[in-house]
Amino acid sequence: MSFHPLMMYDERFHKSDRKVADEGPPFTFTPERRAQLDDIVSKYPSDQKRSAVLAALYLVQEQQGYLTANGMRHVAGILDMTPAEVEDVATYYVMFYKEPVGKCVLQVCRTLSCALLGAERVTEALSEKLGLKVGETDKSGMFTLMEFECLGACDRAPIVMVNNAQWHEKVKPEDVGKLIDDIKARGDKAYSGCHLVVEN
């Protein structure tokens, strides 16, 4: 439907690959997460609640794995924003998942310093081992393979980050298989590559 006879907006003229957010089940924060969010909101001026929107979206993601329309509406209600404003923010930042992902999201840094030391081959090896292309999740819902832009640890290149938080440093393409098997066998306990954990 168009408002002007010369400007037609049907599918022949205008195509967008924008996906409408997944509706998802009804969403409310668990009482603990709600308390956590209220604590974060209190750190900002009382008329600037929306400063906490990134933190709120992280909490939604923590609770149900990815962001749904219902989750974003819930956040909008708490922070006095419109759902469109929340979606505007959510779709901008790469660390928010807009569709379901695996339990273990492998994020390989692909930018120059890592790439110079073989990040492309790390991605290749992961892709082969898991039988996944970049951006895909395996059928069992265990692994998602992603590429990430510079993680800021170029001296320990190449880096593979897991679930937005756990880092594996100086990853070699030939060691990738072992890492995956280790994660399959031991779950969370396999994440220990961060030098801060190692050095202290």
Partner 1 sequence: MDPILTKYAREPNSFTLDFYTKHEGYEALRKALGMQPNALIDLVKASGLRGRGGAGFPTGLKWQFVLKDTPLPKYICCNADESEPGTFKDHLLMERNPHLLFEGCLIGCWAIGAKVAYIYIRGEFYHVQKVMEAELAKAYAQGLVGKNIMGTGFDCDIVIHRGAGAYEAGEETALIESLEGKRAQPRIKPPFPAVSGLYNCPTAVNNVETLCNLPAIITNGAEWFASLGPDKNGGPKLFCVSGHVKKPGVFETGMRTTLRELIYDYAGGPFDGRKIKAVIPGGSSVPILLDDQLDIPASFDDVAKAGSMLGSAGIIVMDDTTCMVWAAKNLLHFYKHESCGKCTPCREGGDWLYKILTRLENGEGEIRDIDLLVSVGNNIAGKTLCAFGDAAATPALTTVKHFRAEFEAHVREGRCTVPAAWRAAKAPVGAH
Regarding 57 and contact with partner 1 (CB under 8 A), the answer is: yes
Regarding 118 and contact with partner 1 (CB under 8 A), the answer is: yes
Q: How many CB atoms lie within 10 A of CB 151?
A: 21
CA separation for the pair 153, 102 (Å, rounded): 25
DSSP string, 14-71: ----PPPPP--S-----HHHHHHHHHHHTTS-TT-GGGGHHHHHHHHHHHHSS--HHH
Distances in whole angstroms, Cα of residue 191 to Cα of each of 109, 169, 198: 17, 11, 11
Regarding 68 and contact with partner 1 (CB under 8 A), the answer is: no
CA separation for the pair 19, 35 (Å, rounded): 32
Q: Of the two residues 2 and 192, which places its CB atom closer to partner 1 in the complex?
A: 192
In the complex, what is the shortest distance from the CB of residue 155 to partner 1, in angstroms, rounded to a whole number? Answer: 4
In the complex, what is the shortest distance from the CB of residue 163 to partner 1, in angstroms, rounded to a whole number? Answer: 9
In the complex, what is the shortest distance from the CB of residue 112 to partner 1, in angstroms, rounded to a whole number? Answer: 5
- Quick check: helix, strand or coil at residue 107? strand
In the complex, what is the shortest distance from the CB of residue 32 to partner 1, in angstroms, rounded to a whole number? Answer: 17
Q: Of the two residues 34 and 170, which places its CB atom closer to partner 1 in the complex?
A: 170
Regarding 101 and contact with partner 1 (CB under 8 A), the answer is: no
What character string, x for contact with partner 1 (CB under 8 A) and - otherwise, covers 121-160? x-xx--x-----xxxx----------xxxxxxxxxxx---
Using DSSP bridges, classify how beta strands 104-109 and 160-162 pair: parallel, antiparallel or unpaired.
Answer: antiparallel
In the chain, the DSSP E strands lie at 104-109, 143-148, 160-162, 166-168
Q: Give the footprint of partner 1 on this chain (CB under 8 A).
A: 43-45, 48, 50-55, 57-58, 79, 81, 88-89, 92-96, 110-113, 115-118, 120-121, 123-124, 127, 133-136, 147-157, 161, 164-167, 194, 196-197, 199-200
